[in-house]
Chains A and B, each alone.
Chain A
Amino acid sequence: MNMLRVRQVLLFLLLVFASRSVIGADEPPPAEKPIGNVVDHFIDLKLKQENITPAPQADDATFIRRLTLDLVGRIPTAAETKAFVESTDPEKRVRLIDRLMASPGFVRHQATEFDTMLMYGTQASIRDYLVQALTENRPWDRIFREVLLPEETDAKQKVAGEFVRKRVNDLDRLTNDVSVVFFGVNISCAQCHDHPKVEDWKQDHFFGMKAFFSRTFDNGGFLAEREAGVVKFRTTEGKDRQARLMFLSGKAIDDASVREMTADEAKKEKDRFEASKKAKTPPPKPTFSARAQLVEMALQPEQREFFARSIVNRIWHRLYGQGLVMPLDQMHSKNPPSHPELLEWLARDTAEHNYDLRRLIRGLVLSKAYSRSSRWQGEDAPAPRLFAVGAVRPLTPMQMAASLQIATAAPGSFPALEKNEEFEKRIENMEASVRGFASSIEQPRDNFQIGVGEALLFSNSDRLQKQFLGDAGDRLLGALKVIKDEKELVEVAVRNIYARNPTEEEIRVLIAYLQKRQDRPIEASRQMLWALLASTEFRFNH
């Protein structure tokens, strides 16, 4: 343990030294400095080098919308926004962060986000497991372990096993998905040939990683692993090779189990597996689990760089709209981070604090870089990788659906904020009611393009009308019906939907729209609400 500590300190000193040689003048931040300050230190340093003055801090209304979307997956209610904007507490941003992170919505939203990250493209979900794990704030390394090595006698953990089970029939995919999701590297090119441009990735890496999984299979709904097995492949030069159990770093384990099983062994083992299949119980574990070896190796202090950097980069990407390394699955030597020292610092800090993702998220949203305005006033906006201006990010399906529901609820229909439990319960119910609608919205990916299908859905489907734009008393339209003053009506609508006050120009334009339709005021208001909901401002987190 002590030795480990010494080694970590040495490693850190080495990094410090390396950073200094790159940055030059400024002192690197010490390990105990708050994450937000460290972020600003490195981001500002780079901006200074590039001679760029970043965008100013976002105003309070913009900040609470951004933060509420990021932390709990929805826009704030008009009452939440008002309370926050009007508060004179100098620490109100920190208090807001802590309130949202303590709310049950935080776990729900993080679970949805991690479920998408882990299960995208599998048509399966491990969200139930994630809700449980995140409620307890389980460290990321433990989640990683439980996802790859679920204790399947425990019903809750068995759900986590879907990650492997859904992919195990295609080992190439399992191998690559694990590399992409947990280690930030895509080695699929190296399946057929050494990577043409990245010398880090050879066929040996792909098949080395595959060797950790090649003994795993689905045994009647439970994960089973054989005692021995070997992965063979043919190189581009036509040589036949046997893969070692080799991690991405190049570190390999040689074990006697890397061999073909004899027919007799295989037969006996098969009988054992068949017996557990019949009994519907998890099969016996192998004496030497190759899959478990991967987990152990990936978390070793000397090897953990992939694991730690990848989760930091992914969380950063989620909150800042752009990874420190882009694309997220191309973390290799030919594709350096925008801020190498920052990534190293965060990765080390996260690893040393038990992979506590709550701590990381809280730190990242406390930076000035996170809370900048997303509007660039000058000519050409600086490259996104400089983080000089706040990101404009498309809402996820669930953010979109939940936000539609909150935006179109009558402002008076929410329990008072002081009645915290009731308020949270209402929000939870509202979220639950729109899961169906969420499935009609596409999950954003890199270089995401919004399709015309969504615009047609908004423009001409009766679902929007039925679910969100009715005029019953608990809906926004129902509340607007009884407001006589047009200016007030517009203000209530804009505050509910945009979570800010309308501009003078907006008031003028929207009143004009309503006045032109005085013979049908409800229709006029409904159309105005539609225009606000379908607008780009609502569609994005800014």
Chain B
Amino acid sequence: MAGQRRGFFCGSLDHSLSRRGFLGAAAAGAATFATDMTALNVLQQPAFASELKKQQKRVILLWLAGGSSQLETWDPKPGAATGGPFRAIQTAVPGVQISELMPKMAQRMKHTCIVRSLNTKDGDHGGGAKLMMRGRRDEANVQYPDLGAVLAREMGRVDSQVPDYVSFYFATEGRGFAPGSSGFLGARYAPMELTQSMIPENIRRLADINDLDHAERADLRDLLSKQFTQGRVNSTTSSHNEAYQRVRGLMSSEKLFDISQEPQKMRDLYGPTQFGEQVLAARRLIEAGVPFVRVARAWWDSHGQNFETHQEMVPELDHVMATLLDDLEQRGLLEHTLVVTLAEFGRTPGINASLGRDHFASAWSATLSGCGIKGGAVYGKSDPTGNRVVDGQVGAAELFATIYRALGISPTKNYYVGSRPVPLTEPGTKAIDAVLA
């Protein structure tokens, strides 16, 4: 059932009915059809724009770069030799406990499911980051697109006025390990990466050209190109003109990145940290229709002083994530927005001589909140010391299949690399049904 869902619709009868109406009207309105219906030019159909706004699905990925510790967050082991100094606290969901460092999320567990049984087998920053961004390993000759690129393709619109994959990663630690990558999907779906400034590169008009000239210069370019492409249309020449047609829209989306447009009260809620501000920007972006935003928080790589590191960083994560879920809920966006926490791996239960925890991919946790998710669910189980998975072991592929299903995308959908069909997830991969709404 869920596997048949398409695009940005939830698959309920109401929606498929309205989808039909909407398709008919869109066709009558001579909207642009591209290869699939996610590419419909719906924003130019005002009657349906508001419906779209409600129905379009989005994802915010909170990327905990360096590998946060599952023991100090989602899978505490109080009392075990490996447990560390922090306690576990009861959450709003009976029977579910998380680290005491996350009291705010504890109150909001009804929106969130925890997967505690990831065994991803790669404890290397580079390998792990690639694996967890793409849900699979590259092959010799196939470079896979990452989650953001796939979702940009599945949920974005060809002529979108907003970017369809935005990535905030300001820290230098680990950035090179986890670059956004559109792989074989090509540059069209490559991320707009923000690494230094809250405003994307080349999105602002240079001072020495006025706005009208900038626009008319683009019109002139368009006119010259149209003469040329007569009788010469192919998908690459089209992509060139589509790219330029998106420029002005993207430039006008600059204010989406500008959090000073938010009321001070809202900014105070997210807090003055860089992470908080970027997550607020992410919320502004997805609200405007950006399908995928990653916000990276670095650097969790606590080989030494694990507990100090987590004592400092987990409460920030707790606060910002809780604020985000509240904000999305109040705006009616939470049921259409999936918030994911993920890293390249977790951390060893064993505590090393520097009171640190090392890289650990054998039994760690990720969370999914909001869209398509059975809130409050806990899936899988690690043993009492946290050293291995004892129930519900899953890898990156299963997690990705679950994410796709939660968004109504079939994990078996094929892309084609040359003549070779490449399904979104490896054949035979099972989504975690137990956490899907």
Contact = CB atoms under 8 A, between A and B. Distances in A.
B421 to A, nearest CB: 9
B59 to A, nearest CB: 20
Given A523-B209, A527-B220, A531-B221, A452 B231 contact: no
A532 B190 contact: no
A535 interface: yes
A451 B186 contact: yes
B141 A535 contact: no
B206 interface: yes
Contact of A450 (B200, B204, B240): B240
Given A186-B418, A452-B250, A527-B209, 15 more contacts: A186-B141, A327-B419, A329-B141, A375-B230, A448-B236, A449-B235, A456-B201, A459-B202, A462-B206, A465-B206, A510-B220, A517-B213, A530-B217, A531-B224, A537-B224
Nearest to B231: A375
B141 A505 contact: no
A229 to B, nearest CB: 20
25 contacts: A170-B140, A175-B140, A186-B418, A188-B139, A330-B418, A376-B232, A446-B418, A447-B236, A449-B188, A449-B239, A452-B192, A454-B187, A455-B243, A459-B202, A459-B244, A460-B202, A462-B206, A506-B224, A510-B220, A523-B213, A527-B217, A530-B217, A534-B221, A536-B241, A542-B232
B205 A450 contact: no
A188 B138 CA distance: 11
A377 B140 contact: no
Contacts of B217: 527, 530-531
B33 interface: no
A527 B213 contact: yes
| Interface hub of B190, B200, B243 (most chain A Cβ within 10 A) | B243
A513 interface: yes
Contacts of B419: 327, 330, 335
Nearest to B220: A531
A340 interface: no
B205 to A, nearest CB: 6
B92 interface: no
B229 A536 contact: yes
B141 to A, nearest CB: 5
A480 B388 CA distance: 72
B224 A455 contact: no
Interface string B202-222: 111110110001101110110
B187 A449 contact: yes
A316 to B, nearest CB: 17
A442 B143 CA distance: 15
B1 interface: no
B223 interface: yes
Nearest to A446: B418
Interface string A356-374: 0000000000000000001
Given A448-B186, A450-B240, A530-B221, A188 B201 contact: no
B227 interface: yes
Contacts of A329: 141, 418
B221 to A, nearest CB: 4
Contacts of A326: 418
Contacts of B187: 442, 449-451, 453-454
A117 interface: no
B243 A176 contact: no
**Contact-size category for A:** 35 or more
Given A376-B232, A392-B234, A456-B247, A513 B142 contact: no
B313 interface: no
Interface string A161-179: 0000000001011011100
Nearest to A328: B418
Contact of B236 (A449, A452, A457): A449
B26 to A, nearest CB: 24
A394 B236 contact: yes
B246 interface: yes
A22 B145 CA distance: 42
Contacts of A381: 231, 233
B17 to A, nearest CB: 34
A144 interface: no
B228 A447 contact: no
Nearest to A503: B227
A517 B231 CA distance: 33
B143 A121 contact: yes
B140 A452 contact: no
A376 to B, nearest CB: 5
Which 4 A/B pairs are nearest by Cβ-Cβ distance? A451-B187, A327-B418, A176-B140, A449-B188
A450 B224 contact: no
A253 interface: no
Nearest to B416: A447
A459 B418 contact: no
A339 interface: no
Contacts of B200: 456
Interface in A431-465: 442, 444-462, 465
| Interface hub of B188, B218, B251, B420 (most chain A Cβ within 10 A) | B420
B237 interface: yes
A176 B141 contact: yes
Contact of B235 (A447, A451, A517): A447
Interface in B405-437: 418-420
Given A327-B418, A327-B419, A456 B202 contact: yes
A304 interface: no
B418 A450 contact: no
Nearest to B418: A327
B196 interface: no
Contacts of A392: 232, 234, 236-237
Given A175-B140, A327-B418, A460-B204, A449 B224 contact: no
Given A175-B140, A188-B139, A452-B250, A535 B188 contact: no
Nearest to A530: B217
B225 interface: yes
A177 B140 contact: yes
B257 to A, nearest CB: 14
Given A527-B220, A537-B224, A447 B141 contact: no
A451 B190 contact: yes
Contacts of B208: 465, 523
A170 B138 CA distance: 12
B220 A450 contact: no
